[in-house]
Amino acid sequence: MGLTKLILRRGQNFSLTLTFNQPFQPQKDQLTFVAETGPEPTELLGTRATFLLLQTRPGNVWSASDFIIDSNSLQVSIFTPASAVIGHYTLKTEISRDQGPGVTYPLGNFILLFNPWSTEDDVYLPSETLLQEYIMSDYGFVYKGQENSITSRPWNYGQFEEDIVDICFEILNKSLYFLRNPSRDHSQRSDVVYVCRVVSAMINSNDDSGVLQGNWGEDYSQGISPLEWNGSVAILRQWSARGGQPVKYGQCWVFASVMCTVMRCLGVPTRVVSNFHSAHNTDGNLTIDTYYDRTAEMLPTQKPDKIWNFHVWNECWMIRKDLPPGYNGWQVLDPTPQQTSSGLFCCGPASVKAIKEGDVHLPYDTPFVFAEVNADEVIWLFEGGQVQEILAHNTNYIGKAISTKMVGSDQRLDITSSYKYPEGSSEERSVFIKASRKLLEPRRDSSSLLDLLGSEGFKDKPVQLQLRLAREPMWGQDLMLTLHVQRVPDRAHSQDPIGLTVRFCAQALLHGGSTRKPFWRHAVHLNMDIEKELQWPLLLPYSNYRNKLTDEKLIHVSGIAEVEETGRFILILKDFSLEPPQLSIEVFERAEVGKALNIYITLTNTLMVALNNCTMVLEGSGLINGQITKDLGTLMTGHTIQIQMELYPIKAGPHQLQVLISSSEVKEIKGYKDVFIAAAPGF
């Protein structure tokens, strides 16, 4: 973080040498130390500490002890308790002799952070391996895409960059809590639960001068697309440089990644977590309703409930003294502004253990997070202005492949089992019922729906239908799918052939789970004998979707099969994202601080269209100070571009170079390279 600041973790000693103009005599000279933080500091609020010089440290309190006298100098050990308020401190001393008047001298300033290495601190994490990952690592990955096609995107956290620690406290000092009562706000900064809630509210700007402005539309002309950020440092520096004006724009992965930077910088073990098929359940009934018509078009709804393709939040490690025993450890915090908590757009901390056990009565915002990973999806057939029947009741669609970066590795770690018991298990349904009773009983408004779901008559299907991709979907190419149909042998069904009319519809899928108007429709008629199987090819031409998708290139294909003999309907769904070209980054030499390092970046345009207005942005703490931007022009179809860059590494240790190439056609072509930087000779 720099050599110009004294930065300490609470529960830690630091040594101080005082030099006097005459010999120090402990029998006659009385030294009183004063440490203060925040406006109008007082001992009552815990923002001022007064302590005398002692021979031995008295315990987990502010103290000056273990001193050594050498004529005119005094070396003393200052101890900061593990329960101290975090923040910027001033330290001064008052010296008096023989009961005479005292003279006060300023000694200097220091910054105090949480200390996950201290057993006395509420953020104590008893694993050096985990601390290296969740505090010391300044890069990581965000997991995006679809449950069955998860993509990793590199992110530069940069929490140890020169000015980031000051910006983190600037964030706290612009919160509504501080503006309403600065002294009280500072006094509560000893409590990690409080600090996490403040940061969660301040990363978004819905209530305050927060860091990021969200944008889930498609017009980013007034700022930067959320897809085009490589890391947190540029965002935090822009926010600070503009006096706290929100940076445009963020979505969930940007909010969570910036919060990870802030919390790691403040000393709280933090990781970024992605939840695929993440429910946004605003009415607390643990069901999300979606609607289709008989042409298979997904219909818009006026309800605020939705299912995100994926949603990204944070987990912070801490002791929860405000909860009963058993709920310590990882806690969910979500800075994306989805709904208010105690009047502000923030979320958490919610104990992951409480979520798994369905203890939704425990603070904070546990019911909301429980629904994000456990809600049921109910899909309705909608015709003539009203619902006709239930097409599907999915109890295991929401909360899939919950992911974070693996410790000490670039691989993905699935942590779904931390949030819930196996889908379909007796424990999982038992927890769901337990949570449902706590949430729904006070309202008594869900019995008709639950009765309807309990009948499960809609599960009686004479055929099994499945949509599969026939080849990897690449943007700029025709898309090939296959409809797999299998007749189900069942005594409950007739053994006679049945006729199926299957209507297909393709729509651009938005990140929030809703869709645009259809850009492709198709219908087929099939006759199915008992135990018959068939595979029906489907072609979705590039010309149909070329100008119809969002920057994330997500497609929602749905089909509704009508059984001619019974008039019943069967729903088929397939979501997928179109893959961009892949870039490669090569380093052929040893990286060393201050020594030129050649980087080779290669991109081949494998698409059927040219990439226009290509721009490259390089970022990486320890490798680059800030960002490097380079215009690349147009990359024609089938052409390859290789860029050589010369870098001068700044910091020794493991680091990561992140590269983004964006164009008018594809906003997010990302790659990374892990680089170990050796110290300069003589260091």
Residue tagged active-site, from 138, 185, 305, 334: 334
Beta carbons within 10 angstroms of residue 18's beta carbon: 16
Residue tagged active-site, from 196, 252, 265, 505: 252
Strand 515-528 and strand 569-577: the pairing is unpaired
**Binding residue per annotation — 293?**
no
**Binding residue per annotation — 674?**
no
Strand order of the β-sheet with 591-592 is: 591-592, 669-678, 653-662, 611-619, 627-635
Residue tagged active-site, from 186, 311, 393, 511: 311
Beta carbons within 10 angstroms of residue 222's beta carbon: 9
Listed as own residue / partner, the contacts of 257-260 with beta carbons closer than 8 Å and 24 or more positions apart are: 257/140, 257/142, 257/155, 257/157, 257/231, 257/232, 257/312, 258/203, 258/211, 258/212, 258/232, 258/335, 259/199, 259/200, 259/203, 259/314, 259/333, 259/335, 260/140, 260/157, 260/232, 260/314
**Binding residue per annotation — 372?**
no
CA 474 to chain centre: 27
Strand order of the β-sheet with 583-586 is: 583-586, 597-604, 640-647
Structure tokens at 358: 């369905």
Query: Could you tell me the CA-to-CA distances from 343 to 197, 201, 678 in Å, in that order?
Result: 12, 10, 49
Work out the angle between the directed axes of helices 192-203 and 164-173 (0-180°, nearest 10).
90
- Is 311 an annotated catalytic residue? yes
- Is 346 an annotated catalytic residue? no
What is the torsional sign of CA 538, 542, 543, 547? positive
Strand 569-577 and strand 29-37: the pairing is unpaired
- Is 334 an annotated catalytic residue? yes
Q: Ramachandran region of residue 395, left (φ > 0), alpha (ψ -120 to 50) or beta?
A: alpha
Reported as half-sphere exposure (CB side, CA atoms, 13 A), residue 458 has a value of: 17
- The three-class DSSP label of residue 416 is helix
**Binding residue per annotation — 322?**
no
Q: Residues forming the annotated binding site?
A: 374, 376, 423, 428
Binding-site residues from annotation for Ca(2+): 374, 376, 423, 428
Q: Which residues are catalytic?
A: 252, 311, 334
